[in-house]
Structure 1
Amino acid sequence: MMFSLMCAWYAFFNLLAILAYGFDKYAAIRGHWRVQESTLHLLSLLGGWIGALMAQRLFRHKRSKQRFMLVFWGSVFVNLLGLFLVLSQWSAFM
């Protein structure tokens, strides 16, 4: 049950991250309202970092911004650390 919930969580935030990056790239090209970088980082922190990484490559978006990428990789690290802690606690109960 817990594993299924975690998979659904990650799937949801990865899809949301891809959509957010795609929307942001579209808006950037057309000069419209943009998605805040803090929102993109929050999606990565919540588990959407794989989708974010895919979208960065697919849309060629945000990859050249060094500060953005530094914060992005920090959010990946924090997410993986949190996942490790959750899984280690979960396995202790089994």
Structure 2
Amino acid sequence: MKFLLYYIIAINLYGIFVMYSDKKKSQKGRWRTPESTIFTIAIAFGALGIFMGMRLFRHKTKHKKFVIGIPLILIVELFIFFTYIYKLL
């Protein structure tokens, strides 16, 4: 159980970092993080971090696939996580 919590914390912190990094790269006109990479992190239970990064850095907030897709992934992940926790109790 501890490993799962550590993993979720780490992947979400990484998601926030990726969004921050991509925002800075976009401001400097440099090579960007592919959208597929961002969605892969989100699907790997990092959707909360990606979502927080979107809000904190106002990044990807005009792209419908992010505005709709990331919250949907987050809802599914929260459902899976709490279903898993409930079964352990």
How does the TM-score come out when normalised to structure 2? 0.83
Q: How many residues align?
A: 89
- AA aligned to 1:44 is A
> Residue 90 in 1 paired to residue 88 in 2?
yes
Task: Give the TM-score, by structure 1 length.
Answer: 0.79
Q: What is the 5 A alignment of 1:20-59?
A: 20-59=18-57
Displacement after TM superposition at 1:77 (Å): 2.1
State whether residues 51 and 70 of structure 2, in contact with CA within 8 Å, keep that contact through their aligned partners in structure 1: no
- Find the aligned partners of 1:72 and 1:53 in 2 and give their Cα distance: 6
Structure 1 window deviating more from structure 2 (36-45 vs 15-24): it is: 36-45
User: CA–CA distance in 2 between the matches of 1:27 and 1:16?
Assistant: 16
Query: Partner letter of residue 50 of structure 1?
Result: L
Moved more, 74-83 or 16-25: 74-83
- Supply the distance in 1 between the matched residues of 2:66 and 2:51 (Cα, whole angstroms): 12
Alignment root-mean-square deviation, CA: 1.6
Distance in 1 between the 2:80 and 2:28 partners? 37
Structure 1 segments, 4+ long, off by >4 Å, are none
Q: Please, which moves more after superposition, 12-21 or 35-44? A: 35-44
Gaps of 5+ in 1: none
Query: Which segments of 5 or more consecutive residues in structure 2 lack a partner in the other structure?
Result: none
Identity within the alignment, %: 28
| 1:8-65 CA-partner distances (Å, limit 9, x unpaired) | 0111011110111011111111121111112212222222222222211221101121
Equivalence for 2:60: 62
